[in-house]
Amino acid sequence: MKTILVVGGGAAGATAASRAKKVCPSCRVVLVEAGGYITHAPCAIPYAIAGLSEEALWLYQEESFEVERGVEVYTKTKVVDIAGGRAKLEGRLAGLLDFDVVIVATGARPWVPQVEGLDKKGVVVLRGVDSVEEARSLLRGAARVVVVGAGYIGVEMADVLNAMGKKVVLIDVGPFPMSKVLDPDIGKLVASYMESRGVELRMGERIERITGGDRVEYVVTDGGRYPADAVILATGVRPNVELAVKAGARIGPTGAISVNKYMEAGPPGVYVAGDVAESIHKVTGEPVWIPLATYANKMGYVAGTNAGLGARVAEFHPVAGASVTKFDEMYIGAVGLTEAEARRKGMPVESYVVKTHDKARYMRELRDVTLKAVISRGRLIGVQAVGLTQSISGYIDLASQFIGRPVEELFNAEYTYMPFTAPVWHPLAVVGRLWLRHHYRSNGPPAP
Amino acid sequence: MKTILVVGGGAAGATAASRAKKVCPSCRVVLVEAGGYITHAPCAIPYAIAGLSEEALWLYQEESFEVERGVEVYTKTKVVDIAGGRAKLEGRLAGLLDFDVVIVATGARPWVPQVEGLDKKGVVVLRGVDSVEEARSLLRGAARVVVVGAGYIGVEMADVLNAMGKKVVLIDVGPFPMSKVLDPDIGKLVASYMESRGVELRMGERIERITGGDRVEYVVTDGGRYPADAVILATGVRPNVELAVKAGARIGPTGAISVNKYMEAGPPGVYVAGDVAESIHKVTGEPVWIPLATYANKMGYVAGTNAGLGARVAEFHPVAGASVTKFDEMYIGAVGLTEAEARRKGMPVESYVVKTHDKARYMRELRDVTLKAVISRGRLIGVQAVGLTQSISGYIDLASQFIGRPVEELFNAEYTYMPFTAPVWHPLAVVGRLWLRHHYRSNGPPAP
């Protein structure tokens, strides 16, 4: 009987295990997870803390997973060593396990700047399911909360804390929130909206230490000192590459594990999937490390399928980092490269910023939408969009399909329209129109 | 000086005129419109009747159009004859006008079944701007309204009337609302939602006459008799082909005017654009007549550009009928062929119905989403989606990009995800996954 060991019970590992068993019912599939839960969804953490999610649903029960999927599941089990088709386990399942195939889905762990005072009461690192209860009890009495890190999770935490009535200070070394995926012209819209909703932004500041007695009292940066009853650290994550390396995988240029499109990591029978793995960028063709839940699920699906069948059947394709988040009523989305990023890479770049609405212009309750398109050599390479409308997420899904393609396709494409849902010229169609207007065709007169 | 005559001041004509002047500032551009308004938006009519739109905005002022765009505009002016570069005009601008190029954008007119009683007080045909005031005054005292025709406009009228507190009966010869763009399995979801909101549906019934004295009292069908204080007829439209034919254009198999992708209608210098023109279907390659505002705008843009430059610069591409509407909180969208339509054409068809949610499954306030994908020979040929969420319109925009492409691209595509905006597997990704699961690849083992 073929034994497939899956290490890590997050999105990638749980999907891979379930999938491997499905395509290979005769296989023994063993899923081990170091923590206490499987299929935990880190994206849910801010909303779980705020009570906006149904607890019972965002955690999958180990038992039902076993019964429904036919996978052996062991939580609180750690793989301490792996080599030559044998894993050394500790915890609930201890001892040696021989396997034919391993799928390493060890995910990522929070990265925290090593400053003084991290150990004080009132400081939480968002770290998974367990940190939800910790954060909740901590926040119950906290009036002033400092959030460090203004990436997706930091912005979402600022959102839920602000909605809970806390006084929120958001600190980041970058010049504005989400500066990795937004250009300054779009980022400043996010910043001013957050400030208008009462969040105090301290951008371009680096945390130096956390002071106080037993409990936190102040967060000190190179730019100021902020009183805090609680501190949330959302300063990013790093891939848990150690086990994959022991299994013979190679660390790529991004620091995550290098895999091919079948999620194979090199040595026969070793697959790597999820936040621990690199992918290939659709625009640059270079390895990138973008730990997103959608990729983790799909990578797990691909790895599980190929591992179960013992064949190269499923593929994970290049990515462009399509992502979206929200703060209060503002939705913020991006895909592909920012203008700044493309310039740093030495690409020729032009960009268009389209200001329009989410509805026909004659409708009441119009919401403004700002969409920025980044173009290089006549191809769309990035889109950023913000607005007080959920339509933003649809724009980014749609823009993802045009990344790498000629800009005029944005004009030629078909878009739905009715007064409640869209302007008659979709913002992406406007980008195509603007671009055509400004360019000459090689074979004739000025383009339209 | 080159003179460009544009006939029809709707979306296509106004855009064409504005565009022609822009690319050819030395041209004389004359826009004539038989009615009293230009750039009127028929899509706005239900919402204008309900007071949900800003009147000042959905009608463009003739004067500002002239001043801002440099186009000569004559409303209440009819072209009664056209031949050999000369038009005979009546109305505000009367006499003969010599032109070098004509763009015919005469649009469509309501089609109404010729039954007895149409002339009674209380019966309105939705016909443009003027019918808004007529409908409003009529509806003021009306408690029971019968809407005839359950296409987009009929459903939207039923929506606004229902929201205004009227007792609404909706009658259509088709088996369920929007039966031209929905299959029965999706159409029945729309029907039961409308009924749950208090609309009385009388589907599969044909209107026979309208009875009463001076005023309407009953609408009589082959299935019943319905008391009515007012009757709204939304029974479809027909293209206004007459003038284009006089100008030398040809009527195509759909009954609308046949054009090429440059919006040329055959005779030199004759362009036809908007609701009066056919387009080519992306799936079948056949001519179709789908009068949508987005097409009209784009066709006008293309015709105006090419006419102004006197060159084949801009193109109008094949279409798939992407459209969306709403009733109360339900959004309803479709693109491409229905399963029924594809079967009637003798195509091999399979379909998948995906039931999922608009958010991560652990979030509160989840809304159900049902998406049906129609597939032929491994390619996506149609999508229908309904749900109590505006995400539906984004799904259809996105699906439009996949029409005609291999279904596995739905699996490989990238989608945004965050708990508030999407489930971690986008419904279109689920379609790709289901399809792959059920199909073997020609070159290997079962697909994932």
pLDDT digits (tens, 9 = 90+) for A77-135: 999 999 999 999 999 999 999 999 999 999 999 999 999 999 999 999 987 777 888 88
Using the Cβ of B427 and the Cβ atoms of chain A, whether some distance falls under 8 Å is answered with no
Contact criterion met (CB < 8 Å) for A57 and B302: no
Mean pLDDT over residues B354-381, rounded?
91
CA-CA distance, B146 to B167, in Å (whole number)?
Answer: 8
Q: What is the pLDDT of residue A66?
A: 79
Task: Give the pLDDT confidence of A301-354 residue by residue, as tens digits.
Answer: 999 999 999 999 999 999 999 999 999 999 999 999 999 999 999 999 999 999
Confidence of residue B134 (pLDDT cuts 50, 70, 90): confident
Is A142:A124 a contact under the CB 8 Å cutoff?
Answer: no
Partner B, chain A 36-95, Cβ-Cβ below 8 Å: 41, 43-44, 47-48, 52-55, 57-58
Domain boundaries, chain A: 3-43+50-108+238-309, 123-235, 323-438
CA-nearest of B381, B394, B378 to B427 is B394
Q: How many CB pairs under 8 A join A and B?
A: 245
Cα-Cα end-to-end distance for chain B: 65
CATH topology of domain A3-43+50-108+238-309: FAD/NAD(P)-binding domain (3.50.50)
Task: Give the pLDDT confidence of B195-231 residue by residue, as tens digits.
Answer: 999 999 999 999 999 999 999 999 999 999 999 999 9
CATH topology of domain A123-235: FAD/NAD(P)-binding domain (3.50.50)
Single-letter amino acid code for the residue at A5: L
Confidence of residue B315 (pLDDT cuts 50, 70, 90): very high
CA-CA distance, A260 to A270, in Å (whole number)?
Answer: 11
Cβ contacts of A411 on chain B, cutoff 8 Å: 298
* Of the options 3.50.50.60, 3.40.50.1860, 2.30.30.90, 3.90.180.10, the CATH number for the domain spanning A323-438: 3.50.50.60
Please name the helix (run of DSSP H) or strand (run of DSSP E) that holds residue A145, with its range, or none.
strand A144-148
Torsion of CA A433, A437, A440, A442, to 10 degrees: 20
Whether the pLDDT of residue B442 is over 70: the answer is no
Confidence of residue B440 (pLDDT cuts 50, 70, 90): low
Contact criterion met (CB < 8 Å) for B53 and A419: yes
Task: Give the pLDDT confidence of A32-53 residue by residue, as tens digits.
Answer: 999 888 876 777 888 888 887 7
Residue of A nearest to B300 (CA): A448
Q: What is the pLDDT of residue B444?
A: 45
Average pLDDT, chain B: 92
Active site residues of A: 43
Q: What is the pLDDT of residue A59?
A: 61
More confident of the two residues A68 and A196: A196
ipTM score of complex? 0.90
Contact criterion met (CB < 8 Å) for A314 and B448: yes
Q: What is the DSSP string of B125-144?
A: E--SHHHHHHHHHHHHT-SE
Mean pLDDT over residues A6-14, rounded?
95
Confidence of residue B109 (pLDDT cuts 50, 70, 90): very high
Q: Which of the residue ranges A45-49, A191-195, B234-238, B335-339 would you say has the lowest mean pLDDT?
A: A45-49
Q: What is the pLDDT of residue A121?
A: 94
Phi, psi of B340 (to 5 degrees): -60, -45
Confidence of residue A68 (pLDDT cuts 50, 70, 90): confident
Of B23, B419, B444, which is closest to A47 when you measure between CB atoms? B419
Asked if the domains at B123-235 and B323-438 fall in one CATH topology, the answer is yes
Active site residues of B: 43
Instruction: Residue A255: count other Cβ atoms within 10 Å of its Cβ.
Output: 12
Using the Cβ of B311 and the Cβ atoms of chain A, whether some distance falls under 8 Å is answered with yes
Of A58, A400, A414, which is closest to B319 when you measure between CB atoms? A414
Mean pLDDT over residues A431-438, rounded?
89
Mean pLDDT over residues B390-409, rounded?
96
Between helices A391-402 and B391-402, what is the axis angle to 10°?
Answer: 10
Is B414:A404 a contact under the CB 8 Å cutoff?
Answer: no
More confident of the two residues B189 and B420: B189
Tell me the shortest Cα–Cα distance from A81 to chain B, in angstroms: 31
More confident of the two residues B445 and B133: B133
Partner A, chain B 351-370, Cβ-Cβ below 8 Å: 360-364
CA-nearest of A413, A417, A445 to A432 is A413
Using the Cβ of A430 and the Cβ atoms of chain B, whether some distance falls under 8 Å is answered with no
Residue of A nearest to B359 (CA): A53
Give the pair of three-digit tokens for residue A278. 């690199």
Residue of A nearest to B292 (CA): A417
CA-CA distance, A192 to A390, in Å (whole number)?
Answer: 19
Tell me the shortest Cα–Cα distance from B115 to chain A, in angstroms: 31
Helix segments in A24-86, DSSP class H: 45-49, 55-58, 62-69
Whether the pLDDT of residue A443 is over 60: the answer is no
Contact criterion met (CB < 8 Å) for A413 and B400: yes
